[in-house]
């Protein structure tokens, strides 16, 4: 059924008499579309959550029942990536649908230009009649854009995890859930809304030696679990890295988080508890939607700004082009989909730059011509359109002693990485089909010379 609908018919079917209720499965869900038929949309973005930090992604230890339910009744994208693995750049890409080389946000203190901000998905949706809200980490520099939203409760910088409220210490994730609920309680069925919730979790608190400051309410989770170390966490994988990577910030942070077995267990359990806190917040948001009779017409998109090393290759943080750093979760839950279209797992390569065009497409709003991402709506419908088979990575924030500048091209099979400020540039080539852990650099393998040359040329074309 979904594959037979045009995109605009799909977007508007709730208001066109198709009977959104007939497209909803599950007890208690009712269709209550906004009066003009457009869906409500919630965009949830975590911070530093790697793709496999969810039960539905195959993690047998982490406790994420709400994310798992969202995926079971929605669409889980198995190959979702950020085009630059650092928060401010990725969040600018999420808002605009543009690569870094186009939006040009490269510093923590840098805002989007006025022209680009005017074409972000929240601004366009407000102009189209949506009630808009933003809660949490803004992630970009400049003054907070309170004027651009109907409801704004965001903060600059990284923020702090614990806040004293009425004499009690309250975790930031709980406060953000409170604000999201407050926004939803102010919404009417007569006007569609778009709420963006930007979590700090599971990002570390860099200024605190404990690093992963989770809510004590989740202390009981993972207490009796033994977290297995990754295959590539063995010291020999760090030894195999190029010498210029060894003294960088990724190794320094590894020393603070993962250097000993006890550190590793404590850090990863803290990271998992932060993710479980977000999972509970997702549950509260969904409960509020249900209580207000909005569940039948509210689309939820759940993703993260970038991935995160948990000791792989003897590293912490992100920034580099290894899978742990660039691969992120993406779940889209649309209750208007027929039951046959739910619970799917799409293998196509999705990107953070696809979020903005997808949200606009779902709302029936024209996507700006400059947008480089693609709407995921056809994939949500179950279609099999011609899709990207490669994409471009770019990361040039910081000095070489912090985060070595990196570029590259990832295809469905190959990954070409180039450390661009080296003289000569240092290159890596991995055959992901046969080497998913990126153990064997094939750059100097004569049998793969033509592949290196082809991907090098593609990188040069993208970079130009």
- Hey, how many other C-beta atoms are within 10 angstroms of the C-beta on 151? 19
pLDDT attached to residue 404:
86
CA angle 323, 329, 334 (to 5 degrees): 150
Peptide bond into 361 cis (omega under 30): no
pLDDT attached to residue 25:
30
Q: Among 420, 406, 409, which Cα is nearest to 459's? A: 409
pLDDT attached to residue 33:
42
Please list the residue range(s) of the chain that carry CATH number 3.30.1120.10. Answer: 405-464
Please list the residue range(s) of the chain that carry CATH number 3.40.720.10. Answer: 2-388
pLDDT attached to residue 156:
94
- CATH 3.40.50.11540 assigned to 405-464: no
List the CATH code of the domain at 2-388.
3.40.720.10
Distance, CA of 134 to CA of 150 (rounded, Å)? 9
Walk along the chain (464 residues) in steps of 10 and give the mean pLDDT of each run: 35 32 31 66 98 97 98 98 95 97 90 96 98 97 96 95 93 98 94 98 91 96 96 95 92 95 97 98 98 95 98 96 97 94 95 98 96 97 95 85 88 96 92 97 96 97 88
Contact of 245 with 220, CB cutoff 8 Å = no
Spacing of C-alpha 208 from chain mean position: 25
pLDDT attached to residue 400:
66
pLDDT attached to residue 106:
87
Distance, CA of 218 to CA of 272 (rounded, Å)? 9
Distance, CA of 388 to CA of 366 (rounded, Å)? 21
pLDDT attached to residue 17:
29
């Amino acid at each position: 059924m979904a594959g037979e609908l045009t995109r605009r018919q799909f977007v508007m079917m709730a208001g066109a008499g198709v009977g959104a209720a007939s497209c909803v499965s599950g007890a208690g869900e009712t269709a209550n579309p906004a009066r003009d038929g457009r869906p409500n949309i919630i965009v949830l973005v975590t911070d530093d959550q790697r793709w496999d930090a969810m039960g539905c992604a195959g993690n047998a230890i982490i406790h994420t029942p709400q994310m798992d339910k969202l995926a079971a009744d929605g669409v889980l994208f198995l190959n979702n990536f950020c085009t630059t693995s650092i928060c401010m750049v990725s969040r600018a890409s999420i808002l605009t649908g543009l690569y870094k080389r186009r939006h040009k946000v490269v510093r923590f203190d840098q805002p989007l230009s006025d022209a680009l901000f005017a074409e972000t998905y929240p601004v366009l949706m407000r102009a189209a009649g949506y009630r808009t809200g933003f809660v949490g980490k803004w992630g970009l520099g400049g003054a907070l854009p309170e004027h651009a939203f109907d409801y704004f409760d965001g903060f600059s910088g990284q923020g702090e995890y614990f806040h004293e409220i009425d004499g009690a210490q309250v975790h930031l994730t709980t406060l953000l859930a409170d604000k999201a609920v407050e926004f939803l309680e102010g919404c009417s069925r007569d006007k569609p809304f778009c709420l963006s919730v930007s979590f700090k979790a599971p990002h570390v608190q860099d200024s605190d030696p404990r690093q992963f400051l989770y809510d004590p309410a989740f202390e009981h989770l993972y207490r009796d679990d033994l977290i297995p170390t990754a295959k590539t966490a063995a010291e020999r994988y760090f030894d195999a890295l190029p010498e210029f990577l060894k003294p960088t910030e990724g190794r320094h942070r590894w020393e603070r988080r993962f250097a000993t077995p006890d550190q590793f267990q404590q850090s990863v359990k803290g990271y998992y508890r932060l993710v479980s806190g977000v999972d509970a917040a997702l549950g509260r948001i969904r409960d509020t939607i249900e209580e207000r009779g909005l569940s039948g017409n509210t689309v939820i998109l759940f993703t993260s700004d970038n991935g995160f090393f948990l000791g792989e290759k003897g590293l912490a943080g992100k920034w580099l082009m290894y899978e742990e750093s660039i691969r992120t979760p993406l779940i889209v839950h649309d209750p208007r989909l027929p039951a046959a279209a739910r619970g799917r797992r799409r293998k196509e390569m999705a990107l953070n730059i696809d979020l903005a065009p997808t949200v606009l497409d779902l709302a029936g709003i024209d996507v700006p011509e400059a947008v480089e991402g693609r709407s995921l709506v056809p994939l949500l419908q179950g279609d099999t359109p011609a899709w990207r088979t490669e994409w471009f990575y770019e990361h040039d924030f910081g000095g070489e002693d912090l985060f070595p500048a990196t570029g590259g091209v990832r295809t469905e099979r190959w990954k070409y990485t180039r450390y661009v400020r080296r003289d000569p540039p240092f290159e890596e080539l991995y055959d992901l089909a046969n080497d998913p852990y990126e153990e064997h650099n094939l750059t100097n393998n004569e049998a793969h010379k033509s592949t290196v040359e082809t991907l090098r040329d593609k990188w040069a074309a993208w970079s130009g």
